[in-house]
């Protein structure tokens, strides 16, 4: 299936969900908006094995992203590091580094943990944007439990069409929301062609005209992100490798 058909399918599914307004009556309660949650740190683990995004230590996903200023390379690496979040949960540190050519333009530590039901929670990020090798912005950084920031769901344990949830929340800064559109989609990227992919839609009230569609593949993880509204970006998986212990644990701007 070519890229045009993939995008057409994704947009068609999204439109169908919006028109029918379907809901999953049996779906577990997931946090939305600024809803408070009480989480027991003892209920969480840094060993993340959700089949739609298994975060095995040492796994690296490499993506190619189209960009008006020149294509980008994105390396997402599950590090051997963990971090105790302000809300008491121990989180896995995942490094997300964006390159243009050989120059870093953005570098981020993301913090994830999985609850006993298998939901992957997103607990914050430490991020920096770079210009000419120097930090230009730290906008977007937040930590659950600090200054009113709340944790969110990166992926539900058992996704079903109609599920909706917040991915992160810090008022006016990080208010991303997710929704499950389908679990039996077809998707093709340079790394491979797949059936039965999970399709989600990401939005935020801070940028109401922007919408992203994301495809996740069992035992692989995220393989494709399409900006379906408010842009035309495409980020596709080109490689999945294993790196040595200690990789990507350096300071922001120096991932290795």
Asked if residue 29 lies in contact with residue 148, where contact means CB atoms within 8 angstroms, the answer is: no
CA dihedral 159, 235, 98, 85 (to 10 degrees): -10
pLDDT in tens, 118-154: 999 999 999 999 998 899 999 989 999 999 999 999 9
Statement: residue 8 has pLDDT above 80: no
Could you give the CA distance from residue 171 to residue 68 in angstroms, rounded to a whole number?
30
Rounded to an integer, the average pLDDT of 18-29 is: 42
Residues constituting the chain: 256
Q: Domains of the chain, with CATH numbers?
A: 3-242 (2.40.360)
For the residues 44-50, what does the mean pLDDT come to?
Answer: 98
The burial class, CB within 10 Å (0-12 / 13-18 / 19+), for 107 is: buried
Angstrom distance (rounded) from CA 243 to CA 256: 11
Task: Please give the Cα distance from 148 to 98 (Å, whole number).
Answer: 28
The CA–CA distances, whole Å, from 140 to 104, 109, 182 equal: 17, 11, 29
């Amino acid at each position: 299936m070519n890229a045009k058909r993939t995008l057409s399918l994704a947009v068609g599914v999204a439109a169908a969900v919006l028109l029918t307004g379907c809901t999953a009556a049996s779906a577990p309660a997931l946090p939305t908006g600024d809803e408070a949650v009480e989480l027991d740190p003892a209920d969480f683990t840094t060993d993340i094995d959700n089949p739609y995004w298994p975060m095995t230590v040492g796994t690296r996903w490499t993506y190619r992203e189209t960009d008006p200023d020149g294509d980008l390379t994105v390396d997402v690496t599950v590090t051997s590091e963990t971090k105790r979040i302000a809300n008491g949960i121990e989180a896995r540190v995942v490094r997300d580094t964006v390159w243009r050519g050989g120059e870093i333009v953005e570098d981020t530590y993301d913090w994830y943990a999985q609850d006993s039901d298998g939901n992957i929670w997103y607990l914050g990020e430490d991020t920096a944007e770079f210009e000419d090798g120097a930090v230009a912005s730290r906008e977007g950084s937040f930590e659950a439990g600090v200054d009113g920031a709340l944790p969110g769901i990166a992926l539900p344990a058992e996704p079903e069409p109609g599920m909706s949830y917040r991915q992160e929340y810090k008022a006016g800064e990080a208010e991303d929301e997710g929704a499950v559109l389908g679990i039996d989609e077809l998707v093709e990227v340079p790394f491979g062609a797949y059936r039965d992919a999970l399709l989600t839609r990401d939005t935020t009230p801070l940028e109401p005209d922007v919408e992203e569609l994301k495809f996740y593949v069992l035992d692989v993880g995220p393989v494709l992100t399409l900006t379906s509204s408010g842009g035309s970006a495409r980020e596709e998986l080109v490689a999945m490798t294993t790196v040595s212990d200690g990789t990507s644990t350096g300071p922001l701007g120096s991932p290795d």
